[in-house]
């Protein structure tokens, strides 16, 4: 279905059956958006941490290698056979850089990629020979521990919004006004779906949840609890729960109107890390820690790595330091982006959170 047809399809649906849930709009728009293109890089719509510098994937690889080595040392021999699993691997850049480090420190693991986009599967396959693809987490291997990574994956999953109106709580839907898509509260009471402590919030308050993120985290966590392993998720979002809409669109490196042209811009929302942690615990995992991306990468030694890269390539030193700043500075990605690590209760605690914030 072409992009023009997606707008037509939504418009037909809304005219015939009434407004559609925001989650449905976001899910279908992003499935279209990602299916046919590579949105990453200067010529695309946005840039992610692994595309900024190889140092990002190397730090993640170091964290995974250390986690694996600690588990082997703790008497869990099957840890050495753990598979590398990545959710939404983009161009495969993070995996390539992380696997290089894993390969130098105990062996290259089998690679399993959960990726919905045929276009991006092509790019990932070019970079990661032998990787196996999965439509969702249900088909991941069951016979070994899993080392799971997700960078900017959960922010692309469909959110549900509940909004407090003068008549009580309603689900946010997408309606048509003069042939344009607009957000509009639905007509069914949704008060019972709102946590009790939020029900008396002021008119206009929005409670955002991501049922898909919680469901995927729960299912993965049950696997990791049973099979062993750890999960590392990085995304932009907040560590403590909040209210308010964070639904947004980015196209050509600029904020865009998420309702203007569905399927042509990346639709995202802030990730609720507290909810990810709860889903992980409900699935049987231990939360090792939560932190800002900057503090996490610095604890893993990205500063030293940048110094070594700069010394080895003096002509690139400026670029390396620029990339370091982008990844860790509090006014760049360092604070806005957060990290959560979870592990099987049988596995030892991983690195990177000693001096980190937890709220
Ligand atoms: N992790 C990469 C790419 C981030 S973009 C990086 O950091 O550069 C989001 C990624 O998630 C893309 O690979 C996209 O195709 C994938 N994705 C989005 N929604 C998905 C879904 N529901 N199922 C599987 N993959 C999805």
Q: What is the pLDDT of residues 52-110, one digit of tens each?
A: 999 999 999 999 999 999 999 999 989 999 999 999 999 999 999 999 999 999 999 99
User: How would you write 204-230 as a 3-class SS string?
Assistant: CCEEEECHHHHHHHHHHHHHHHHHCEE
Alpha-carbon span 64 to 44, nearest angstrom: 30
Q: What is the pLDDT of residues 135-144, one digit of tens each?
A: 999 999 999 9
pTM of the predicted model as reported, rounded to 2 decimal places: 0.96
Q: In this predicted structure, what is the pLDDT of residue 1? A: 55
Alpha-carbon span 86 to 342, nearest angstrom: 15
Is residue 356 pLDDT above 80, yes or no? no
Residue 175 dihedral angles phi and psi, to the nearest 5°:
-120, 180
Alpha-carbon span 341 to 286, nearest angstrom: 9
Alpha-carbon span 218 to 116, nearest angstrom: 19
To test the pocket of ligand 1, the residue of 32, 55, 116 to mutate (highest count of ligand atoms within 8 Å of its CB) is: 116
CA distances from 282 to 149, 204, 218, 271, 348 (A): 19, 31, 7, 18, 19
Who wins on pLDDT, 156 or 354? 156
Other beta carbons within 10 angstroms of residue 337's beta carbon come to 25
Residues in Cβ contact with 304 at an 8 Å cutoff, skipping those fewer than 6 apart = none
CA distances from 58 to 55, 80, 127, 202, 271 (A): 5, 19, 16, 46, 24
Alpha-carbon span 259 to 5, nearest angstrom: 15
Q: What is the pLDDT of residues 224-259, one digit of tens each?
A: 999 999 999 999 999 999 999 999 999 999 999 999
- Which residues surround ligand 1 with Cβ inside 6 Å? 30, 34, 40, 48, 50-51, 88-90, 94, 114-117, 120, 151-153, 156-157
To test the pocket of ligand 1, the residue of 33, 50, 57, 90 to mutate (highest count of ligand atoms within 8 Å of its CB) is: 90
Alpha-carbon span 242 to 297, nearest angstrom: 25
Residue 153 CA to ligand 1 center (angstroms) comes to: 5
Please check whether residue 76 is in contact with residue 69, taking contact to mean a CB–CB distance below 8 angstroms: no
Please check whether residue 129 is in contact with residue 108, taking contact to mean a CB–CB distance below 8 angstroms: no
Average pLDDT, the chain: 96
């Amino acid at each position: 279905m072409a992009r023009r047809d997606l707008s037509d399809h939504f418009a037909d649906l809304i005219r015939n059956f009434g407004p559609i849930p925001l989650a449905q709009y976001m899910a279908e728009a992003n499935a279209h958006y990602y299916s046919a293109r590579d949105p990453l890089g200067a010529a695309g719509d946005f840039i992610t941490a692994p595309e900024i510098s190889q140092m990002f994937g190397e730090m993640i690889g170091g964290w995974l290698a250390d986690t694996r080595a600690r588990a082997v040392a703790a008497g869990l021999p099957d840890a050495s056979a753990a598979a590398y699993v990545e959710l939404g691997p983009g161009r495969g850049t993070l995996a390539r850089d992380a696997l290089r480090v894993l390969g130098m420190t105990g062996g290259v693991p089998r690679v399993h990629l959960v990726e919905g986009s045929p276009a991006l599967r092509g790019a990932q396959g070019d970079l990661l020979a032998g990787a196996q693809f999965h439509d969702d987490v249900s088909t991941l291997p069951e016979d070994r521990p899993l080392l799971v990574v997700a960078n900017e994956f959960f922010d692309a999953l469909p959110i549900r919004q509940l909004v407090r109106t003068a008549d009580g709580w309603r689900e946010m839907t997408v309606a048509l006004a003069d042939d344009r898509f607009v957000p509009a509260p639905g007509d069914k009471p949704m008060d019972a779906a709102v946590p009790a402590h939020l029900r008396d919030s002021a008119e206009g308050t929005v409670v955002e949840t991501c049922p898909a993120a919680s469901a995927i985290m729960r299912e993965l966590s049950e696997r990791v609890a049973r099979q062993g392993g750890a999960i590392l998720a990085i995304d932009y979002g907040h560590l403590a729960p909040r209210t308010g809409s964070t639904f947004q669109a980015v196209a050509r490196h600029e904020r865009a109107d998420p309702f203007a042209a569905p399927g042509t811009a990346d639709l995202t929302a802030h990730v609720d890390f507290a909810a990810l942690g709860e889903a992980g615990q409900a699935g049987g995992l231990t939360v090792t820690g939560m932190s800002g991306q900057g503090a996490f990468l610095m604890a893993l030694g990205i500063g030293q790595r940048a110094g070594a890269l700069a010394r080895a390539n003096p002509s690139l030193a400026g670029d390396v330091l620029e990339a370091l700043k982008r990844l860790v500075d509090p006014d760049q990605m360092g604070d806005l982006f957060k990290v959560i690590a979870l592990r099987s209760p049988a596995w030892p605690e991983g690195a990177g959170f000693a001096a980190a914030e937890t709220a």
